[in-house]
Amino acid sequence: MAIFMQRFIVPQFIDVKDKIIGPITVHQFILMIAGGIIIFLSFRFGDVPFFIFMSAVVAIIIFLFGFFKVNGAPFHDFLLNLIMSFKKPGLRVWNKELTDEELKQLIKELPKVKIEKLERKQIANASRLAELSLIVDTHGKYKGEN
């Protein structure tokens, strides 16, 4: 008895947005309509300097959020990443607190590191790396063998 598997068409280019009017996507079209409404309202209910100022500001915002890309990513993604990077600290420090028991256990385990079939130069580097990591983990309480 033969089992036939169904065939499905796998969508291609799923990251490309649908175009509705020439090269304009739905997102860009909606932004342009919203900007047009804001500009019309500033024309209708404001004086001429306010209208000119609002038209310039809205046009710049529509251009940035609708058409401008930074490193191939939309501007709103860039702006969100910029805000998140300002919220987070630039330098992250690991502050692990060790109890005396954990410190003693780490010092006991250091000589038990087994290194097999390595060249003499690699053995020195590997043991030095283990020793340096222990110094970092113990916040300098363990001074090393030297």
| Domain assignment of residue 93, yes or no | no
Q: Which 3 state secondary structure label does DSSP give 135?
A: helix
The answer to whether 23 and 15 are in contact (CB under 8 A) is no
Please give the residue that has the higher pLDDT: either 39 or 19: 39
Q: Are 36 and 79 contained in the same domain?
A: yes
CB-based contacts of 139, cutoff 8 Å, min separation 6: 96, 98
| Domain assignment of residue 41, yes or no | yes
State yes or no: pLDDT of 88 exceeds 90.
Answer: no
| Domain assignment of residue 112, yes or no | yes
Q: Are 38 and 67 contained in the same domain?
A: yes
Question: Which sign, positive or negative, has the C-alpha torsion 75, 77, 83, 88?
Answer: negative
Token code pair at residue 78: 């860039």
What is the mean pLDDT of the segment spanning 75-88?
90
What is the mean pLDDT of the segment spanning 49-76?
93
pLDDT of residue 103: 80
The pTM for the full model equals: 0.51
Range of the domain at 104: 100-137
Q: Which 3 state secondary structure label does DSSP give 64?
A: helix
pLDDT of residue 122: 52
| Domain assignment of residue 146, yes or no | no
